[in-house]
Amino acid sequence: EAVAGSDSLKEAICGDETGTVIVSLRNEAHAEICTVGASIRVQNATVRMVKGHIRLVADKWAAFKPAAEPLDVTVKEDNDISATEYE
């Protein structure tokens, strides 16, 4: 979904068997990859704090692509690390 106050920034919730995190996407092509149930390969992304919450940022240096093979995992939705506020 689009982030209020920004024309190009979008966010998606991504997860695996350990938990979920909000991913900040600066590229429209990255946002198009993020569909429900998609398997995504993320490399060289950075972690940033946004108003005390963790965000995984896929910027221009990150590799953000569909996975070579679909993953069969059950996402642990009750462990949202972006929901925790840090000081």
Least reliable range by pLDDT among 41-45, 60-64, 80-84: 60-64
Length of the chain: 87
The pLDDT value recorded for residue 26 is: 84
Backbone angles phi, psi at 29, to 5 degrees: -65, -35
What's the rounded Cα separation, in Å, for the pair 87 and 17? 26
User: DSSP letter string over 41-81?
Assistant: EEES-EEEEETTEEEEEE-TTSEEEE-SS-------TT-BT
* Tens of pLDDT, residues 9-47: 889 999 999 999 999 998 888 889 999 999 999 999 999
What is the arithmetic mean of pLDDT over 44-51? Answer: 93
pTM above 0.75, yes or no: yes
The pLDDT value recorded for residue 27 is: 82
